[in-house]
Structures are given as C-alpha cells and as structure tokens.
C-alpha cells in the first residue's frame, strides 16, 4: 500500500478500533483501489479516499414499543447515510440482535460500491436495529415497525434516502413501515422498496438478489467455458437470498445439496428439488420455523446443529462444484476455505455481504477458485429496488418478464465491468479488485466533480 493510503487505513483503525467489520471492509477496498493511486493522484490530493471512508451522516435513535404482555420494550436503531455522490442513499434495513454501528457502516460502505456497479443513480446507505423478530407475534413486529418509522420517517424520502429489506426485514416489515409512513406524512410515495406489488412494489424484487447472483455466476462460468447444468452446489442460509438462489440454480439445471439457518445445517445428498424448496419457503416465510424440520420430513437428509465452539462449518465440507454463501458476514473462514479447496470447489458466488473473511478470500483466490464478491454478485436486489424507484416515480408497473430481462442485462454488464477493471488494473479473474475498482471509479469521478463536500 502507498504511504498515503496506509495513513487513511491507520486513521480508520485509530478512530474506530472496535469496528472490526467496518475495518475489514475498508481494508479490502483500500487494498484494491491503492492500485489506482499512481494513475489518479487526485484521489489523495482531493481527499476522495479520506472522505469515502467517512459516512456523510449516521443517525442513532431509540425505538420504544409495547409487547403482547403490555411490557415496555426498548431497542436501538440506526441509519447510516454513507455516500450520496451518485444519488439518494439506498440500502436495506436489518433487524437482528447482532446489529451495531460497525456492521451497518460496513454494509453501507459495501452498498455504496455495489450501487455504483448497477449503473443506476443510487447513493449508498444501510440501517437497522438490534430488534430480534424471532419469536415475536405479528402484532409485536407491527408495533415495533410503526415506532421505528416515527423517527426514521423524518430522515428518508423518495429523493433523499430509500431503505429496503435485509436480514429480518422482508415484505411483512416493509409493509408495516410503509403503512406507518403514509399515515404520518399523508403521502403515497416510493420511500421504501421491496413493497408488495399491490401498493407500488416491483415484480421480481423478492427474487432479484438470488436470481442476480446466479446470472452473474453463470456469466463468470461461461467465460471459463463452464456452466451450471448438472453441477452440484452448496447454498447456505434459507432466507430470501438463499431461497431464490436455489430456485434459479434448479431452473438452470444444477443440483443443490445444502441449506442452513442460524440453528444448523441441512445436507441432502439427493438434492433439494422444487417440491422440497416449496416446503422450505412455507417453513421459513409463513410458519417462521427451523430448518431442522426438513430432516424430519425428508429422511434422506442430515441435519447438523451449529456447534458454537467449532472452528469450521460442516456445510462447506460437502463435496460440490460451486458454493453460494447466502446467510451472513464472515460465514466462510480459513478452515472452511481450505475444505472448499480440498473438495475441488471451482466457484464461490457471494449472495451474502462479505461472507468470506479476508484470509479465506486469499486462500480461495490463490487456489484458482473463481470468487464473485458480494458487492457485485448480490447487486441484483438493489438493482431491482432501483427499478422499483423508477416505476414509482412514473406511477407505472412493469411485468415480471420486463423486470427479469433488465436484471439479466444489469448482471451481465456488472460482470463485464468488473472483469475488464480486473484485467486493466489488477490481474485477470481478480474480481474482488475488479468490483472495488469499477464501483469506485464512477463514485470518485462524481465526488471530484462535486467539490470538497
Ligand atoms: P433473511 O433474513 O431472509 O435470511 C437470512 C438467513 O441467514 C436465514 O436463513 C438466517 O437464519 C441465516 N442467518 C442469519 N444470521 C446468521 C448467522 N449469524 N449464522 C448463521 N445463519 C444466519 O436475509 P436475506 O436472505 O435477505 O440476507 C442474507 C444475506 O444476503 C445478508 O448478508 C444480506 O445482507 C445479504 N443481501 C440481501 C439482499 C436482499 O435483497 N435481501 C440484497 C443483498 C445482500 P434464521 O432463519 O435462523 O434467521
């Protein structure tokens, strides 16, 4: 790293030494864009790199709500408005007990480059709360969402900041938040994406992240003369991204051997077919149950509960051709990466944000595994959110086929942009560098043009 870049890294560590996830995301980014510093010295002189690692704004607020027993409950919520150089802040809301400022800053940072890669006019942001929707009634979730929107509402807007879903925030939560916003401001405008199609949602938004991941991975494989037909795949998670990744993999002729949730791992050597996937969708989206139930119904499958002290995840030690981490950050560590390599994995397509640790990433790339980094490969979700914003502002609704076709085009363009950036500034097939650099160049042009703000 150049001294000037290293100083920026040191400052981030000095200012927020406890924000480990954010530091990890900045390290990966600075390692890549440092390769541009000789070509574009303005990045240092105009302090573009200094500014890009600092959120434009971070809002922290309390969310008081009353549970079904009449007890008062309190949660903390956040909205990180990271960068608006390209357009309104855009990025999901996460409801999970682990949520804190470090996690949301890392997600907002990643989101900024991801949104740039989509080619749409979207800035980067992210938000959420340490509220745990698990085990809560619909009424409790509704009251929490309504209370959260009383504060969040004043910071967002269709031209300012447009949140969407993420872990723990799906159609139900978006609906409750949207309803409360409308009640507070008396406006039917696109202040959230991921809405139901009956009130301004885009078709294909729920599917978009998973479908987009498979489209980008297929493009990457195609360039190597490979494809998905009859290939075995590992998928982790069983939420929105995992479900639609599995659905599209099945449509493209692949076989999916695994899924998981925060309690454990499911391994089905006979493959998770359409019927079994439908069972998982009802289990997770309607009954909000545990994946362990799958192994009770389908005896050919094995369920392994997570062991808190284990150093590796058995899901990543199943022999397969391709792997798609779709649960959460840092779910593939160095041990897992070694298992994947030993088992001959050829591609890791990241559906989750930053699911691979920095060291694990290096092991995969050193061993010739194609690594599709989340900020490129899971960009389909925000891309269709961007298309939802366009439909909302025109008061139009496109057909599922129209949206899916645009999603495919966007993912192919992202592949083409990150692979050419990798070849030009780094090495062929270093898609981590390619995604960081291609995403960053557009933002830095916009920041330079807009002055020191
Ligand atoms: P969901 O809440 O729908 O699903 C998350 C899944 O991951 C669930 O199966 C959950 O298990 C599991 N999970 C969550 N935390 C952990 C953990 N600490 N350890 C093990 N398993 C865990 O979220 P999404 O599918 O929307 O998001 C998944 C990932 O994809 C996240 O990294 C998110 O940031 C990223 N992403 C999502 C986008 C979207 O459009 N939704 C867009 C781009 C990226 P359980 O069922 O037990 O809760």
Which residue puts its alpha carbon closest to atom 46 of ligand 1? 261
Q: How would residue 201 be classed by pLDDT, with cut points 50, 70 and 90? A: very high
Q: What is the mean pLDDT of residues 302-323?
A: 96
Q: How would residue 14 be classed by pLDDT, with cut points 50, 70 and 90? A: very high
Distance 166 CA to ligand 1 centre (A): 7
Q: What is the mean pLDDT of residues 331-357?
A: 98
Q: How would residue 364 be classed by pLDDT, with cut points 50, 70 and 90? A: very high
- May I ask the CATH architecture of the domain 56-188? 3-Layer(aba) Sandwich (3.40)
Do 208-377 and 56-188 fall under one CATH topology?
Answer: yes
Q: Write out residues with Cβ below 6 Å of ligand 1.
A: 165-168, 170, 209, 237-242, 261-263, 284, 326-328, 351-353, 378, 381
Q: How high is the pLDDT of residue 149?
A: 98
Which residue puts its alpha carbon closest to atom 16 of ligand 1? 262
Test site for ligand 1: of 261, 315, 332, most ligand atoms within 8 A of the Cβ: 261
Q: How high is the pLDDT of residue 114?
A: 98
- The answer to whether the beta carbons of residues 229 and 254 sit under 8 Å apart is yes
Q: Where are the domains of the chain?
A: 56-188, 208-377
Q: 208-377 — its CATH code?
A: 3.40.50.720
Residue 243 Cα: closest atom of ligand 1: 25
112-165 pLDDT, tens digit per residue, is 999 999 999 999 999 999 999 999 999 999 999 999 999 999 999 999 999 999
Distance 375 CA to ligand 1 centre (A): 15
Q: How would residue 54 be classed by pLDDT, with cut points 50, 70 and 90? A: very high
Q: How would residue 363 be classed by pLDDT, with cut points 50, 70 and 90? A: very high
Distance 350 CA to ligand 1 centre (A): 12
Distance 46 CA to ligand 1 centre (A): 37
Which residue puts its alpha carbon closest to atom 30 of ligand 1? 352
**Overall pTM > 0.95:** yes
Which residue puts its alpha carbon closest to atom 48 of ligand 1? 262
Q: How high is the pLDDT of residue 395?
A: 96
In the annotation, is 231 catalytic? no
25-35 pLDDT, tens digit per residue, is 999 999 999 99
Q: How high is the pLDDT of residue 290?
A: 97
243-286 pLDDT, tens digit per residue, is 999 999 999 999 999 999 999 999 999 999 999 999 999 999 99
């Amino acid at each position: 790293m150049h001294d000037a870049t290293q100083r920026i890294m040191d400052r981030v560590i000095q200012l927020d030494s406890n924000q480990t996830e954010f530091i990890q995301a900045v390290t990966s980014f600075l390692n890549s864009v440092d390769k541009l510093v000789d070509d574009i010295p303005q990045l240092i002189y105009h302090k573009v790199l200094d500014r890009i690692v600092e959120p434009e704004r971070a809002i922290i607020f309390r969310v008081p709500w009353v549970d079904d027993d009449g007890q008062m409950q309190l949660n903390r919520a956040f909205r990180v408005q990271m960068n608006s150089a390209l357009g309104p802040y855009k990025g999901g809301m996460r409801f999970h007990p682990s949520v804190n400022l470090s996690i949301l800053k890392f997600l907002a940072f990643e989101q900024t480059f991801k949104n740039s890669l989509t080619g749409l006019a979207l800035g980067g942001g992210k938000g959420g709360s340490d509220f745990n929707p698990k085990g809560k009634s619909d009424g409790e979730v509704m009251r929490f969402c309504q209370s959260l929107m009383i504060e969040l509402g004043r910071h967002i807007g269709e031209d300012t900041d447009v949140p969407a879903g993420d872990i723990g925030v799906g159609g139900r939560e978006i609906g409750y938040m949207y309803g409360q916003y409308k009640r507070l401001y008396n406006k039917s405008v696109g202040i959230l994406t991921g809405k139901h199609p009956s009130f301004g949602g885009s078709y294909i938004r729920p599917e978009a992240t998973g479908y987009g991941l498979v489209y980008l991975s297929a493009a990457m494989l195609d360039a190597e003369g490979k494809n998905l037909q009859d290939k075995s795949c590992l998928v982790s998670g069983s939420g929105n991204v995992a479900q639609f990744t599995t659905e599209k993999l099945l449509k493209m002729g692949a076989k999916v051997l695994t899924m998981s949730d925060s309690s454990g791992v499911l391994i089905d050597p006979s493959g998770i077919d359409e019927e079994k996937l439908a069972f998982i969708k009802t289990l997770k989206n309607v009954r909000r149950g545990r994946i362990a139930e799958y192994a009770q119904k389908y005896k050919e499958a094995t369920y392994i509960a997570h062991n808190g002290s284990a150093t590796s995840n058995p899901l990543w030690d199943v022999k397969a051709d391709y792997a798609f981490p779709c649960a959460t950050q840092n779910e593939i560590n160095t041990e897992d990466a070694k298992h994947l390599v030993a088992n001959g994995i050829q591609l890791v397509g990241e559906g989750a944000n930053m699911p691979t640790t920095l060291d694990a990433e290096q092991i995969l790339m050193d061993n010739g595994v194609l690594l599709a980094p989340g900020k490129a490969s899971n960009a389909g979700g925000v891309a269709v959110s961007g298309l939802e914003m366009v439909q909302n502002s025109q008061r139009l609704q496109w057909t599922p086929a129209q949206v899916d076709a645009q999603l495919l085009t966007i993912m192919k363009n992202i592949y083409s942009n990150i692979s050419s950036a990798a070849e030009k500034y780094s090495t062929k097939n270093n898609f981590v560098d390619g995604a960081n650099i291609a995403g960053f160049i557009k933002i830095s042009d916009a920041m330079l043009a807009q002055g020191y703000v």
